Structure 1
Amino acid sequence: MKLTNTKVKSLPIPTDKGQVFHWDSETRGFGLRITSAGSKSWIVQGRVHGKTRRFTLGPFELLSADEARKRAQAKLLEMYDGKDPQVEKRKHKAQGETLREVMEDYVEHKRTKHGPLRPTSKDDIRRCVEGTFSDWADKPVATISRDACIRKFRELSRTAPVQTNQSFRNLRALLNWAREKNATADGTYPILPVNPVSQMFRKGGLVQWNPERARATRIPKDKIGAVWAMLEDHANPDQNITTTCISADLISFMLLTGTRVGETSKLTWDHVNLDGKLPTFHLAETKNHNSITLPISSALHDVLGRRWAGRLKGNKYVFPALRGRKGYLSDPRALFKKVSEVAGVHLHPHALRRTFEDVAQLVGIDSDKRRQLLNHLASDVHGQNYANNPDPGVLMPAMKKIGEWITDQGGIARAAATGENVIALKA
């Protein structure tokens, strides 16, 4: 049957199957598909490299039989020349995919060995695309060239070299994602045959990663007591606003436990046990994906006791935010500035983690227990199979020593500031 507009209109809708095909008697491979929902579409079917390929030309309502036949003949010639119409369609679609579209697909579907990306990782990638690469965000990734990346990298490196490194690592991951998701079955890449970020860093390339020095800042030993005394003063609700008190307790918690700011700020009350023979807190979401339960020392119990007394109704977080959608205090920047002034060095949250390690060494905690307290995963056989007791009670003596040393230093600093007898104070 030769397919014409009149004949197609008279063809029945299938009721006993999902779809039926009607093939044209004049042009081999040209046909019409009708679904049980009443949809009619022109199709063409041929062979490419020995494999059958079927391609939709368009809906019957928009294409006449004559126009559809012409398109079918053109597609059949392409298939005869070895071009797969499905591959060509994907290539065309890939050419128009923007960096923002790639980003959204990446954050939704990317999986690591630990599972989906964390919210913090997703936020970092979004900030990268919508901030650092905002002028590229709505342009096709296929247009991002090596030369454009080189110019951008050099420009950004002048003012923020370390942040530029991280931004381009994120961009490299996104472009790799775009390449792989559009790769064909035979392993060819319709877009970005070579990742332009990887290309510019190749051996003998035109740019090199900016040097990154490991940070080593911490609170000097002789300033820890003064810092602790200051935090205690700012945690007093009778003398400070609520946000200041919460910030002081959050920083105190980090100093007494060595936890990261992201782990601390997201701690919820259902993961804190203040009562019982062994008070503990549990970190469910950690940087290395190793959840851990740690003991609560007396000094830490005092901090959490203040937070419990000042908890906000309807808020599950130990260190709540008074405004904003997050619900938790994530950046005690204002008080950190004051901590830096007392310490005499510019500090950031991770400096408290190094300070915790220093104090642990000072009070004689062995390396295995320090590693466990900091939730560092062991790489040696002994650490992996022996020095890995998950019982938080094993770590209580160490946590107690650290807390007592810090609070003692705070008492000494306060006595020195007020002229009290330090020996009498200790007694």
Structure 2
Amino acid sequence: MNKENFTPERISGYRCESGRQQTIYWDKKQQGLGLRVTASGSKAFVCEGRLFGKTVRITIGSPDIWPLERVVTVDHSTGDKIERVGARQEAARLKALFDRDIDPREQKAEQRAAHEARQLESRRKDAAVEDAWHKYLAAHRSKWSERHYEDHQRAAQAGGEKKRRGAGLTVAGPLAPLMQLRLSDLNAAHIASWMNAEVQLRPTNAEQAYRKLRAFIRWCDEQQEFSKLVPEGAYSARAVRDAVPRPKAKGDCLQREQLATWFEAVGRINNQVISIYLQALLLTGARREELAGLRWNDVDFRWLSLHVSDKIEKETGRYIPLTPYLAHLLLKLKQANDTAPPARAIAPHTGEDPAWKPSEWVFSSPRSADGKIAEPRIAHKKAQKSAGLPNISLHGLRRSFSTLSEWVECPVGVVAQIQGHKPSALAEKHYRRRSIDLLRLWHNRIEAWMLVEAGIEFVTEDNNPTM
């Protein structure tokens, strides 16, 4: 192995030997320093040494980037000295590592990993609440109902955009002021200040927004990307808890003496789908989303049962009885749903419209984006107002079913199972799951009692009035 003292002129003049892919020239002055020249003419400094009895060769870099010796220059604008390490100094450093049985490649990999970890931690600390919020919503979209998901979107919207319905612009959601903060800035003092401001404007929304924020922070703590970024005690500090308004228990519920007026008012609603949907809410005690998502293949008119989605049993849903009067109402909808609208053009000779087909939804809506009922509250409020009734929410109808069922002395566990409440007692949770026949016995009694109080005379197929 011939060696020469490297000089810039010699480095410039080195060529790859004819017939070879590469040639390495070795420096006489610095042990282990070489210059690799390939057949294509590219050049690179290399350092060769022994590590655990094996020869290891490491590339330093191109002579165009690495000077042969250390170079010191002065920045004339600042007067600072700028030092560039030369290839000989770098080879000496690598040789020293070889002599101590340290693999420079592993050291470089460790340094790079540490550098990337520092950069990742820096990016983590700069993570915005808004970015984490979008990931939080995406992670839960498949688990939430569409309405619940949209509630979270509205809670954080910046506002100022044109409304999808009606005139005017959207209003900023209660969580909007927090979206531009960093997660690391989401401390107790900031949250308390935000809560105090929101309570002055919209106390009910502020309390709901706090619960959403609390669930979001808990989720962040469970994610590697965001864990331990939100300061400890951000939502549980006394200053925050004192600022959160206490939720008031809702008591909107139909009274026994209001049933006749309510059924009459709801029965006058022009939209038959909405009218029957509202009656179904009261007669089943189901959640509004559960009933709105009912498909025709979930309705069994033969064995008198409904298969509804369930907040607790998300994968399997639950089966509840189809009571006689409700079955009568749904058959009306079924007949209307299976009848093609007369105003549509029909195909010649067949008398059928090839573009029309019955809706899969029990409570369908041709104007809705997904084809099912979306907003029955407006019609319900108008009907109640015209009848002089107090405003009962859709969830109030669910509450009414539970409350009014006590008039027939129905067991609490039966009502809970029909409504899809989570079992509260040990026996209910592990041992007592009533058959749908037993649920039907009590459910039919509840419906019959409501019809009697409402003054509705309904005769079943066996010609026996329900009352």
TM exceeding 0.5: yes
Correspondence for 2:170: none
Amino acid of the residue matched to residue 370 of structure 1?
Answer: V
CA contact (8 A) 2:306 2:321 kept: yes
Separation of aligned partners in 2, 1:223 and 1:9: 96
Using structure 1 for the length normalisation, give the TM-score.
Answer: 0.69
Greater CA drift, 137-146 or 215-224: 137-146
CA 1:168–1:318: 2 relative to 1, 3 Å: same
Correspondence for 2:214: 172
CA 1:148–1:357: 2 relative to 1, 3 Å: same
Amino acid of the residue matched to residue 206 of structure 2?
Answer: T
1:10 CA drift (Å): 4.4
Separation of aligned partners in 2, 1:134 and 1:332: 28
- Alignment of 1:302 onto 2:355: no
- Alignment of 1:315 onto 2:359: yes
Q: Secondary structure at the match of 1:55?
A: helix
User: For 1:143-162, what aligned pairs fall within 5 Å after superposition?
Assistant: 143-162=185-204
1:257 CA drift (Å): 0.6
Q: Deviations over 1:307-334 (max 9, x none)?
A: 2122273532111222232322132112
Q: Deviations over 1:187-235 (max 9, x none)?
A: x84x333363x2xx4236683321112112211110101211222333x
Correspondence for 1:379: 424
1:2 CA drift (Å): 7.0
Higher RCO, 1 or 2 (CA under 8 Å, sep at least 6)?
A: 1
CA contact (8 A) 2:321 2:440 kept: yes
Separation of aligned partners in 2, 1:171 and 1:393: 43
Correspondence for 1:207: 242
CA RMSD across the alignment = 3.8
> Which of residues 398, 404, 425 is equivalent to 2:442?
398
- Alignment of 1:324 onto 2:368: yes
Separation of aligned partners in 2, 1:4 and 1:109: 54
Correspondence for 2:120: 90
Separation of aligned partners in 2, 1:133 and 1:44: 49
1:254 CA drift (Å): 0.6
1:281 CA drift (Å): 0.5
Correspondence for 1:61: none
User: For 1:285-296, what aligned pairs fall within 5 Å after superposition?
Assistant: 285-286=310-311, 289=314, 291-296=317-322
> Which of residues 266, 269, 278 is equivalent to 1:231?
266
Q: Secondary structure at the match of 1:281?
A: strand
Separation of aligned partners in 1, 2:449 and 2:41: 89
Using structure 2 for the length normalisation, give the TM-score.
Answer: 0.64
> Which of residues 201, 205, 230 is equivalent to 1:163?
205
- Note the residue ranges of structure 2 that are not aligned, 5 or more in a row: 1-31, 45-56, 61-89, 96-103, 158-172, 339-356, 458-464
1:345 CA drift (Å): 1.6
Separation of aligned partners in 1, 2:389 and 2:35: 87
Correspondence for 1:101: 131
Q: Secondary structure at the match of 1:310?
A: helix
Correspondence for 2:107: 46
CA contact (8 A) 1:321 1:328 kept: yes
CA 1:218–1:265: 2 relative to 1, 3 Å: same
Separation of aligned partners in 2, 1:2 and 1:426: 102
Q: Which structure dedicates a bigger proportion of its chain to helix? A: 1
- Note the residue ranges of structure 1 that are not aligned, 5 or more in a row: 13-20, 30-42, 57-83, 235-239, 414-424
Correspondence for 1:67: none
CA contact (8 A) 1:99 1:129 kept: no
Q: Deviations over 1:361-395 (max 9, x none)?
A: 11232222222222223222332344312x31221
1:294 CA drift (Å): 0.9
Percent of residue pairs identical: 16
Separation of aligned partners in 2, 1:192 and 1:231: 49
Separation of aligned partners in 2, 1:156 and 1:230: 38
Correspondence for 1:55: 112
Correspondence for 1:39: none
